[in-house]
Each structure stands twice: as C-alpha cells, then as structure tokens.
Structure 1
Amino acid sequence: MSNLRFAAPKERRLAIVTGGGRGIGAAAAIRLAEEGRDIVIADLDEAEAAETLAAIEALGQRALFIKTDAADEVAVHAMVAQAVETFGRLDILICCAGIFGRETPFLEMTSDYFDRIMKVNVYGVFYCHQAAIPHMLRQRWGRCVTITSGARLGATHNVPYGVSKGAVWSLIMALGNAYPNQGVFVNGVEPGRVLTQMVVPRFSKEHLENPGVPIGRYADAEEIAEVIAFLASERNTYTTGAVWSVKGASGWS
C-alpha cells in the first residue's frame, strides 16, 4: 500500500455486517475479520450467527451478535448505538440482510407482501446508512457496501425483489456522491447466483452442476466476500458510488 498516497493507515477497525449469520454476510464477516476488523453481526438468528462468531474469534478479532430486524428503524439505530458504545468506533457497514420472498405472478401478489420486501431490502439499507454514516463523518473515514442484484433489471416472477434491488442501486449512486470528500465511500456489489441458502434450494442438482453461465458455475460466497473486503478497505482510495459486478461474465444475470 506504499504507493497509495491517499490511503488511510490500516487500523483495527469495526465493521457491522447485517445478515451476517449465513451466506454472503457470513463470508464477508469472516473475510473482514481476516483483514483485522472487529465484527458486529446484526441478524435475527443467533444460532446461525454462532458459527460465524466462533470463526471470527478464532482469528483473534472481537465479535458481537446483536439481534436486529433490519426492517425496524428503532432496532437498527439501537444496534448501531450499541456497537459504537461497545467498540468505541464504527468504520465499515456491510448490508447483506435481505429477503428473496417467493416467485409469484404479479397479479397474485398482495400489497402486504410487496411492503415486507421493501421494508427489509430497501428501508433496512436506508436505516443502516442513516445510523452509521454520522459516526464515519466524525472520524472522516468510512466504507459502506451493500449487496444488490441483477434482478433490478426486471424480475417478472418476483417483482418486489427486483424493485427493491433497483431502489438499492439508486441509493448507492446517490450516497456514493454525497460524502467522498469527507472520507466516506458508499458502494455496492452485484453478484450473480451464489451457492447460498437463497439460491441452492431453488434449483435441481443437475442445474447447479451445469447452470449454463459463461464461467460454467455459480459463485461461492467467499468469492463475493473478496470484493466486499476490498471496497471496505483502506486500499480503496478512489471507488465510490459504484456497483461492482461479480457474475463470472459480462452482463450475465
């Protein structure tokens, strides 16, 4: 990092990872711990988070689980306040909490279903950034990374999910230009299909072995975590307001 003249010194920073109990969130939490970060896992399921917490602590980093419903504004702000009180700082926010819902024809969807997807996938990201960014601005350094999806381009059988990911894309674009001269970068990562609990149960074994994508396979969560770790690092000195495609192909959804 010696030639990166605008890089901040590497420190033992704190990262909050929403949805860190499993999947991409868990992989990101562990990868960030490998980078020397302490971790707060904000999730609803403590049992799922326990294994991730143990892996982080085995790396010599501190880890804390805070039960949090991303759709609850009060709970999100309380989680961030508890994280800062416990660790004395907040440097990194990774928003992986999200729900896919179910694949249902548009005319059969209810407004309550649509609203639930929006509350978790959009409002949850909004609440987290509103709670976290003021702490980053005070120290003039922060990195935020949110998971979006190619479904933002139109998901016929899961319209709410696609709409939610389009809204997250727009939020990243807006916030990415809001604070970079104050040291706070906001970015996103758009994976293709990843071998997590959100994807694997939806497909046959034969499809998963030969999914037809150009690279010939779906991604491991750890491959997505590598990109998240860079965007959240001191090495990222000039990327903000971007959504990085990690799909094993060009333009593949």
Structure 2
Amino acid sequence: MSKANTQDNKHPFGAGRDLGGKIAWITGAGTGIGQAAAVALAGAGMEIILSGRRKANLDETATLVRAAGCEPVIETLDISDPTEVNKVVARIEERFGGIDVAVLSAGINIKNRTWEKLDVEGWDAVVKIDLNGAFYCCHALLPTMRKKKSGLIINVASWAGVHVSRMGGPAYNAAKHGMVAMSESINMEEAVNGIRSCALCPGEVATPLLEKRPVPVSDEQKAAMLQPEDLGETVLFLARLDERVCVNQLVISPTANRIYVGTKT
C-alpha cells in the first residue's frame, strides 16, 4: 500500500487535492513520460498500476515507484489489443474499485516517417498504438469512471497534435491530432458524469523515442529538451487540481524550442 505524502507544503493555498490512496493507471509506464508520471504520482500517495509491453522495463519502473513509497501492480499490456485492454481495466476495477487517474502515455514513432519513405505498414503501426490504442483505453475506462461520477484521463499527445510538424512525420501528426480531438470529445460528452480529460501536448522530450529519429540527436540537444521528470511534475499538477477544474489541453515546450528555430527531421 502507498504511504501518504508527508512533505510539509507551505504554499498559502495548499498543495491541491489529496491523492493519498487514490488509484492511478499508467500506460507506457516502462520508460520516459509514463515512468516519470508513475514515480511522481506514487510520491503523492497514489496506488500505482503499471502497464506496458516490456516486462523488464516495467520492473525497472516498479523499483523507482517502490522508492517513492508505493508497492505497484504490474499489468503487462499491448494497448493495440482491445480485448486485453478491457481485461486489464476489469482486473483493476475488481481489485481497487475503479481508476481515479489514467495517464495514457504509450506511444511510438518510426524512422522512415517522411512521405517519401513512409509505407502503409509504418502508417498502420503508428496509428494502431498512438490513436487506436488510446481510444481502446478510454473506451474501457469510461464505464468504470461513470459509475464513480469521477475520473481524470491524461492523454499524452504531443506538440505535433496541435501544430503540424515535419519532425514528427505525417502518421505521427495525424495520430496525435486525432488523440487531441478524441480527448476533447470526452469532455464534451462526459463532463456531466464528472469525468475530465486533458490532452497533454509536450514539445521535444528526452526519451527513448528519440532513438527512432531519422537524424541523430546529440547529448547537448537532449540536455536542452524537456526531461521526463518535467512531465512527471506536470502530470502531478494536473492530478492534484480540484475536480471542478478541467485543463482541456496543456501545451508545454522546452525554452530552447528547436521547432521554433528550425531543425532537420
């Protein structure tokens, strides 16, 4: 079980809502943003369920989550399989009674991403995970959140979901734009059920996804990007907001934003 967050917060308006004992499910939890979100939420006292395709990566995250004060549950999952997504959500509901915060962070991109090099298989691979997989998770989550009349879904989209970018490529741009639109449609229909969705749209983040870039990224460039822990703190901020607050979309970028100054893909 999680240990309550004992940090002494001196902010005159408090630290936001108490997350102690609440349930968080994170997809793409093995690395990057998902891993950082899991650690940040565990530190706030939440119960953590970790999902991702690679068990070894989830075990690594689990070690970090334990250090933050929580014994996590691991649910290995390929979110492109809707049947398996439904099974995982059903098991979480049976064990914990529901999910309070879902961080849908699983995502991929491909190296051959320009129109000149992109093929049908590459397009399908990106859309299958980045858009369809997010839909399968939301579709499975909403019934259990409706029962509780409460719930926050954080859809980790991208800068490319707001601004079309050569850097991401057409498949990634399309999938992330779709994710942003899907996220807002949840707010339109489910606000009456106390459910909130935020499309979190970061610019460049120094995660393992950079390894799929057609042009290698230097260590110096990585250091200037957003770091996973920055996004972990952002997820924690969103989770701590009162349930009366819906941040429909949050765009966050590095101060040294290479998209503004121009870069090769």
Report TM bin, short chain: 0.7 to 0.9
**Structure 2: gaps spanning 5 or more residues:** 1-10, 260-265
Aligned counterpart, 1:91: 100
Q: How far 1:236 moved relative to its partner?
A: 5.3
Contact 1:13-1:89 at 8 Å conserved across structures: no
Q: How far 1:226 moved relative to its partner?
A: 1.1
Q: Deviations over 1:139-195 (max 9, x none)?
A: 111110011112233244621111101100111111122222322110021111111
**SS of the counterpart of 2:189?**
coil
**SS of the counterpart of 2:30?**
coil
Aligned counterpart, 1:67: 76
* Distance in 1, Cα, partners of 2:153 & 2:105: 11
**SS of the counterpart of 2:250?**
strand
Question: Which of 151, 154, 174 is residue 163 of structure 1 equivalent to?
Answer: 174
Where does 1:218-229 land on structure 2 (aligned, <5 Å)? 218-229=225-236
* Distance in 2, Cα, partners of 1:219 & 1:180: 31
Aligned counterpart, 2:254: 248
* Distance in 1, Cα, partners of 2:40 & 2:242: 15
Instruction: For 2:153, give the aligned amino acid.
Output: C
Q: How far 1:219 moved relative to its partner?
A: 1.1
Contact 1:20-1:26 at 8 Å conserved across structures: yes
Q: TM-score, normalised by structure 1?
A: 0.87
Contact 1:106-1:156 at 8 Å conserved across structures: no
Instruction: For 1:173, give the aligned amino acid.
Output: E
Q: How far 1:85 moved relative to its partner?
A: 1.9
**Structure 1: gaps spanning 5 or more residues:** none
Q: How far 1:116 moved relative to its partner?
A: 1.6
The reply on whether 1:231 has 2:242 as its aligned counterpart is no
Aligned counterpart, 1:29: 38
Q: How far 1:210 moved relative to its partner?
A: 4.9
Question: Which of 193, 206, 224 is residue 217 of structure 1 equivalent to?
Answer: 224
Q: Deviations over 1:1-22 (max 9, x none)?
A: 9979xx8664411111000011
Q: How far 1:234 moved relative to its partner?
A: 4.6
